[in-house]
Structure 1
């Protein structure tokens, strides 16, 4: 006699996965868009001071992603659509995207610019963003496209800038709770839309080497933090990543694109970016260090992966004779190592950069 089927109890809580069902990383590898930089269901932040070409850099990334091209030597693994939420200077964003496409001989690309004040502080604002994404995807992939069926639509959402994204909802970028509210709403958007990559464009503070402006909560909330610095030659460096090595990614510089001439005969231009190999060789050379910096770096390297909290690092440095007469020597040495990309700090713990 066949045993009657016993109805399974429906779970009442959140979904879960048993340890025995977790696949090996080689069986469930991360789904990359641009390998090593942009991956599905992750968030990156690209920060730099005014004039660092951060928006121009991400516009260049948008064209590469949408066209299926490699980007700064990083392989394009999945050509996909890009939605660029231009919370400021939307006209500049349009001209810049057009200039980059023209310089590469490209015409039709799955890129959409949303020139709107986007509020993501309040949960009820998520619906408006989701509706916008659905409208754009219908244009990209046809009116029958349904992201709810498991198909992935626009793979990358860019928000320019982070400060305007917070201010639009009356938030304060110095408040961790306001930043947390936005990240919670971004996750809600990812959950509904199949997990696109979210790229945030933001500013560094008054001291660029101290990371993003405002609350440091953003450092813990993103999967990758990229800081842009430099004068004529800019360098994009990973300063925090969940599963990628920290250090310089690539270098680039400004390039002027001319569209033509206006009615007065003056050129119509916009700044875009181009790769440069000028500093590649210099990146392999060890930066010049002061005696204090060399000693403090050695102490940090000896601590290994565990690193040192500031107090312990100071104590070891004092035992080595640093900061006994002038306490500021300790601060200066730490800041110098961080600025040179040789040390990083998170939640008062320091580690040597490999």
Structure 2
């Protein structure tokens, strides 16, 4: 009935300017019809049948027009795993048993905003190129310049960078990686819901500037001190994300998802790979042969690393004083244990001797130790023993620093 242009009301049939009046905050035309000035767009129930199914980039892993968070302890292989995904997307290959779901003739670009260790990303990607005999012009870019997702200018900066990359590489970007999330917040407090909501909202605004391309944002994060409680920072980020994946001990595990099964998504093993650059002459300078070694993921083998979607507990190694408290318990069990257990009082006394508990009111800090170490100990009837299942799990080393 009406068309709004530059704040003016026009008749949608004649195109003529319509006179309006305002009463009690409501705008009316000459026929006393309500003029809708600021309504939000909507779809009706009848239109839901036209809704397209989810548009997968990698089946069951990466969907276009969605955001995900992948987090894990330092040295757990999360950035290495992300580089592996990036290479498979850019080379249009299936990833660890999950089908690449795009037109194989279409060039699918990947941009990595490496807010930390950009050079390491580049070395890993070079190692993949040599090991997997990949083309030298894969559409992957690593950006070392910092971004601030809490600055409104980031919407234009990031989206213009994507446009520029697509134009110069004749591709369509399908995956945008931010590694790491906390470094992309411009120093704002990640423990505030306002910070996380503002940054996540800017991801949506960046995507909205690309009308014909609904790429996936993959963010990389860290777990909190108690790794069992999820990613570090305010939970508003997790609420925004369509997919949350915890990377721990060679397993990428889905811990939150909209429409896929929770549990193990992929298993992986690290592989050391050495890249050697031959001697060369640059001008009058003779540059000798040099090499570097990085950790990448070993090639996927369905027989060696089957993917199961059964949920399993995530086990994190304790750090700081929690690690010291667990070490004290191991020593006490080794010297005084009976059937692999000691009394809570004995453990508490040894914690006091190790200056890990205060002389006054030790009850609360002792309870914190027990709670933080609940994956690693079994407490029963005032006795405590080690959780053998936790102790048998070995964390492989995934990070090298060439």
* TM-score when normalising by structure 1: 0.71
What SS is found at the alignment partner of 1:209?
helix
3-state SS in 2 of match to 1:98: helix
Q: Which residue of 1 is the match for residue 198 of structure 2?
A: 181
The answer for the alignment partner of 1:258 in structure 2 is: 274
Instruction: State whether residues 261 and 309 of structure 2, in contact with CA within 8 Å, keep that contact through their aligned partners in structure 1.
Output: no
Question: Gapped runs of 5+ residues in structure 2?
Answer: 1-11, 16-34, 279-286, 314-366, 377-386, 390-402
The structure with more helix, counted as a fraction of residues: 1
Q: Secondary structure at the match of 1:178?
A: helix
Instruction: State the match for 1:303 in structure 2.
Output: none
Question: What is the CA-CA distance between 1:13 and the residue it aligns to?
Answer: 2.1
Kindly indicate whether residue 177 of structure 2 is the aligned counterpart of residue 158 of structure 1: yes
> In structure 1, which of residues 228, 243, 261 is the aligned counterpart of residue 259 of structure 2?
243
Structure 1 stretches lacking a partner, 5+ long:
143-152, 288-326, 341-354
The question of 1:85 aligning with 2:113 is answered: yes
Q: Is it true that 1:68 corresponds to 2:97 in the alignment? A: no
User: For residues 10-38 of structure 1, what are the alpha-carbon distances to aligned partners after superposition, in whole Å with 9 as ceiling and x for unaligned?
Assistant: 8742221111011266xx21111000010
Q: Give the TM-score normalised by structure 2.
A: 0.63
**TM-fit CA distance, 1:236:** 0.5
Contact map agreement 2:262 2:310 (CA 8 A) in 1? no
Bigger Rg, which one: 2
CA distance in 2, matches of 1:281, 1:173: 33
The answer to whether the 8 Å contact 2:263/2:309 transfers is no
- Aligned equivalents of 2:218 and 2:308: distance in 1? 29
User: Which of 203, 215, 225 is the aligned partner of 2:222?
Assistant: 203
In the alignment, the residues of structure 1 paired with residue 50 and residue 375 of structure 2 have an alpha-carbon distance, to the nearest angstrom, of: 40
Q: How far 1:285 moved relative to its partner?
A: 11
2: distance between equivalents of 1:191 and 1:54?
A: 28
Deviations 1:64-115 (A, max 9, x none): 0011100000000126111111111111011111111221110221111111
Which of 32, 46, 62 is the equivalent residue of 1:20? 46
Give the count of matched residue pairs: 281
User: Where does 1:269-284 land on structure 2 (aligned, <5 Å)?
Assistant: 269-274=293-298, 275=300, 278=304, 280=306
